Amino acid sequence: MSDTTHQTPDSVAVPAAPKRRWARTALWIGGPIVVLVIGGWLYVTSGRYASTDNAYLQGDHVTIAPQVGGRVVEVDVRENGVVHKGDVLFRIDSEPLQIAYARMQAQVESVKSLLDAARSGYASAQADVRSSSADLVYKEQQFARMKELRGRGLIAQQSLDDAANNLAGARAKKDANTAAVAKAQNMLGGLPSTPDEKLAGYRLALAQLAQARLDLDHATVVAPMDGTIGKTTLQPGDFLAVGQAAMPLVANTLWIDANFKETDLTHVAVGQPATIEVDTFPGKTWKARVASISPASGAEFSLLPAQNATGNWVKIVQRIPVRLVIEEPEREGMILRAGMSTSVDIDTGRQNSLLGRWQGGAEPVTRVAQAP
């Protein structure tokens, strides 16, 4: 029997050595090829993607607070309820505000009546000035005659004194009428033909009326934007002061703040595409793009920034906030919420091969801190 065969219990010859030699040959040839392929792929793609799991969904949120104080009479939303811009959130007792508005309406009418009376008084005062001027001329002439007659001894001194007293009274009356004209002019802005809307007193009354109207409108508090109501315990009967927090409102518009290590931002620039994965929906990805890059690290915005110019110094890789905009936030019924944890991968387009650089994989020319 030869070296390359062996006998089975059924006495059938099976070749063995050639198969083992073929497997070893394939391993020696294929193994290096696989290593080279994997190494080449890693070389080409290394540095192209900037990734981090230090990223969270963010959204605009406002604290709803009344602009007028009063007792709450109606609450139209509940916690975690979805609202749209202009929807009524709650109402404050408007009766005191309606009374104030009616009072200011009456005030405007009162000012208008006073201005009309001033115009009438101006015309009457002018007539009185003309009358008193004519009377003054007559009294001056009479006094002159009496003075001449007294000089000739034809009348008693009492008659001259009476004429002088009448002259003084006529002058005082003319001065009073002239002052009345000036007063009416001041109330009418210098001219009786000045429209009410250009007079300070009337404009003040109109402004107070507008404020009363605005306060009355503010008794109904509406949503300033689309969003979802956060935690609230507001109930009818509660009293709210001006500016007192009533409930939070989180907007539907979301973005991502990703905190990348400073060493990962070498090739990151505004406008680059990215993909995100939310921990709540594993295996699902969303498309995004880089909207802006913070001008400073997160530590620079802290209440107590690090003081590295001290004797005890340890170098720590800093993180730079990068904002990303989600291109399609709603998909397949999956709802994204502010505060969720995410993982971000930014495609910088950088490749280590010459072919990749010729195809547009070179570093971006323009690098800015924030989007224009």
Structure tokens at 236: 């009818």
Structure tokens at 119: 């115009």
Q: Render pLDDT for 72-82 as a digit per residue (tens, 0 to 9).
A: 999 999 999 99
| Confidence (pLDDT) at 2 | 44
Q: Which of 254, 220, 264 is nearest to 97 (CA)?
A: 220
| Confidence (pLDDT) at 62 | 92
| Confidence (pLDDT) at 5 | 45
Mean pLDDT across the stretch 304-332? Answer: 82
| Confidence (pLDDT) at 370 | 47
Output 172 or 82, whichever has higher pLDDT: 82
Contacts 24+ apart (CB under 8 A), 167-172: 167/136, 167/139, 167/140, 167/142, 167/143, 169/139, 170/132, 170/135, 170/136, 170/138, 170/139, 170/140, 171/136
CA 290 to chain centre: 23
Identify whether the C-beta of residue 242 lies closer than 8 Å to the C-beta of residue 66: yes
In whole angstroms, how far apart are CA 137 and each of 103, 133, 166, 173, 367?
A: 50, 6, 11, 12, 91
Structure tokens at 203: 């404009």
| Confidence (pLDDT) at 185 | 67
Structure tokens at 348: 């910088």
Residue 185 buriedness (CB in 10 A; 0-12 / 13-18 / 19+): middle
Query: Could you give the percent of the chain with pLDDT greater than 70?
Result: 81
| Confidence (pLDDT) at 337 | 87
Q: Render pLDDT for 263-302 as a digit per residue (tens, 0 to 9).
A: 888 889 999 999 999 999 998 999 999 999 999 888 888 8
Q: Which of 99, 91, 50, 46 is nearest to 68 (CA)?
A: 91
Q: Confidence class of residue 15 from pLDDT cuts 50, 70 and 90?
A: low
Mean pLDDT across the stretch 121-128? Answer: 69
Whether the pLDDT of residue 206 is over 50: the answer is yes
Mean pLDDT across the stretch 352-363? Answer: 49
